[in-house]
Amino acid sequence: MRLLSDSIGRKVVMAITGLLMVLFVVGHLLGNLSIFAGPNGINAYAEKLHGLPQVVWATRVVMLTAVALHIVLSIRLTLENRAAKPTAYAVDRRLRVTFAGKNMIWTGLLLGGFIAFHLLHFTVRSVPGLDIVQGLDGHGRFDVFSMVVAAFGHVVTAVVYVVAMAALFLHLSHGIQSTFQSLGLNNAKTMPGFLKFGSVLSVIFLLGYGSIPVAIFFGLIAK
């Protein structure tokens, strides 16, 4: 039996890496929401975080591995699954399959693209053709707040983020409950609960993350 070559082994890895990313997204959301507290909120948060380089780098290494595994395995799984079902039915009627479930690879790849862009945007802070506001705030901290607010003032950037958040929502509306099934935690009793949990959490992500670019774009958060 092997983790990375048996069908279910790979699914377990997908689930665990997915779960790690979900945990990251939860933490990141909590952090990001401090933007509603104004510059003092988020800038202080960012400062504190960067004061713990071991934690930051450890997280980065783990997450990078997770993302890499998740991507490689998901592409392989998807290709195998397509090969196992070469012909579609003439009538496409589905009983349980959801739009989200069917398009995991696309929402996933979109997220992958987004993450790459997002890292260049807010972490590396260098995207060709994009002005990124970088400065220090009144306390001499790096001014994350201004950077973000300036960024989402642009309609294109705001839309890119909102679209990405929609993809995240779709990906996780299937993905979260799916994790429990993949890890074998489901039974007749727990399953409805996990399904609901997945839906609620993904909606929270959609609203939580989505509210930031939207609120900024419509001027609810401004300098």
86 binds another protein (CB under 8 A): yes
* Residue 136: CB minimum distance to ligand HEM, A: 13
Residue 70, phi-psi category: left (phi > 0), alpha (psi -120 to 50), beta (remainder) = alpha
Nearest to 13 by CA among 92, 59, 56, 77: 77
123 binds ligand HEM (CB under 6 A): yes
Give CA–CA dist 175/20, Å, rounded.
12
Stretch that binds ligand HEM, among 89-97, 107-115, 129-137, 188-196 (CB under 6 A): 107-115
* Residue 188: CB minimum distance to ligand HEM, A: 19
From residue 160 to residue 179, the character string flagging contacts with another protein as x (rule: CB under 8 A) and all else as - is --------------x--xx-
* Residue 104: CB minimum distance to ligand HEM, A: 4
Among 101, 153, 208, 210, binds another protein (CB under 8 A): 101
Running DSSP on this structure, what letter comes out for residue 140? Answer: S
Contact by Cβ (8 Å): 188, 133: no
What are the beta bridge partners of residue 142? Answer: 136
Give CA–CA dist 23/140, Å, rounded.
31
Instruction: Please tell me the total number of residues recorded for the chain in this structure.
Output: 223
Nearest to 45 by CA among 26, 31, 57, 59: 31
* Residue 160: CB minimum distance to another protein, A: 27
By the criterion CB under 6 A, which residues form the site for ligand HEM?
11, 14-15, 18-19, 21-22, 25, 28, 32, 46, 56, 60, 67, 70-71, 74, 77-78, 104-105, 108-109, 111-112, 115, 118-119, 122-123, 144, 148, 161, 168, 171, 175-176, 178-179, 182, 209, 212-213
